[in-house]
Structure 1
Amino acid sequence: MTREEKSIAIENLTAQLAGVNVIYLADTSGLDAASTSDLRRACFKANIKLEVVKNTLLAKAMEVSDLDYGDLPSVLKGNTAIMISDTANAPAKIIKDLRKKGTKPTLKGAYINTEIYIGDDQLDALVTIKSKEELIGELIGLLQSPAQRVIAALQNQNKEEVAQ
């Protein structure tokens, strides 16, 4: 790869990282063709961009980015696939689901809304992160609950009055 090609690749990676709040780094080495195909298919269905990247180019892109990736570049060793998503827990769920069949892919690290997660042991914590839609749904449910109790109590009172 020439210097110019590397420069273009770094610019492209930097552009991909710009404005993205959910980035996962995974080790996909050792996956057979079927498992790789399953991973790509699952990512496509979940609207996750999956790309295998060169570690040095990704490290340079993180370095020139406006965002602070902390110690995340330190995990860039070996085979690295970058997963870019809009939903914080979607890549973690896919990794965990595929791990039911084997030991790969493994989580190297993640950047989620300025928080840095390093190591495969963080996978269970990342799976439990709620998406924006899930949080809004829970909040609406909590807000509706007291109103539903009041309505039910009034309906019961009306039934009792009618029965008398």
Structure 2
Amino acid sequence: MTRQEKSQVIEDLTAQLAGTNVVYLTDISGLDAETTSNLRRSCFKAGIKLEVVKNTLLEKAMEASEFDYGQLPTVLAGNSAIMIAENGNAPAKVIKEFRKKSDKPLLKGAFIHQAVFIGDNQLDALIALKSKEEVIGEIIGLLQSPAKNVVSALKSGGSTIAGLVKTLSER
């Protein structure tokens, strides 16, 4: 690879890193072609971009990026693949599901909205992260709960004022 090609790859990786807040570094070494293809299909279905990268080029792209990746570049050893997604826990779920059939991919580290996670032992914590849509849904559910109680109280008491006062006093 020429120096110009390397600088182009670094620019492309820097642009990819700038366009996302969710980056997972994994080790997929030892997977045969069929298994790797299945992993790529699983990632594609989940909206995740999987790409095998050279460690030194990715490290330079991280240095050139506007984000602070903290200790994440220290895990760049051996074979590395990068998973880029919109949803913070989607790659972790794909990794966990895929490891039911294979012992790889291994999680080296992750960068999710300025937070850095190092090591494969962080996989369960990453799966437990909620997406923005899930958090918004929970908040809406919590906000709707009091209104639902009032409406149900009005319906259960009938249209009489005595029934309404009785129902509200019970609650």
Name the TM tier (shorter chain).
Answer: over 0.9
1:16 deviation in Å? 0.8
Is the counterpart of residue 38 in structure 1 residue 38 in structure 2? yes
- The alignment of Structure 1 onto Structure 2 pairs a total of residues equal to 161
Amino acid in the other structure paired with 1:127: I
Aligned match of 2:167: none
Aligned equivalents of 1:120 and 1:22: distance in 2?
Answer: 16
SS at match of 1:111: strand
Amino acid in the other structure paired with 1:41: R
1:5 deviation in Å? 1.0
Aligned match of 2:166: none
1:19 deviation in Å? 3.1
Aligned equivalents of 2:36 and 2:7: distance in 1?
Answer: 28
- 5 Å-filtered alignment, 1:97-136, equals 97-136=97-136
Is the counterpart of residue 80 in structure 1 residue 93 in structure 2? no
For the pair shown, which has the larger CA radius of gyration, 1 or 2?
2
SS at match of 1:51: strand
Gaps of 5+ in 2: 164-171
Aligned match of 1:63: 63
RMSD over aligned Cα atoms: 1.2
Q: Deviations over 1:34-68 (max 9, x none)?
A: 32122111111111111000000000100111110
Higher mean alpha-carbon deviation, 126-135 vs 25-34, is at 25-34
Gaps of 5+ in 1: none
Is the counterpart of residue 94 in structure 1 residue 94 in structure 2? yes
Identity among equivalent pairs (%): 66
- Calculate the TM-score normalised by the size of structure 1: 0.94
Is the counterpart of residue 54 in structure 1 residue 59 in structure 2? no
Aligned equivalents of 2:35 and 2:158: distance in 1?
Answer: 61
Aligned equivalents of 2:112 and 2:152: distance in 1?
Answer: 41
1:159 deviation in Å? 6.8
Amino acid in the other structure paired with 2:132: K
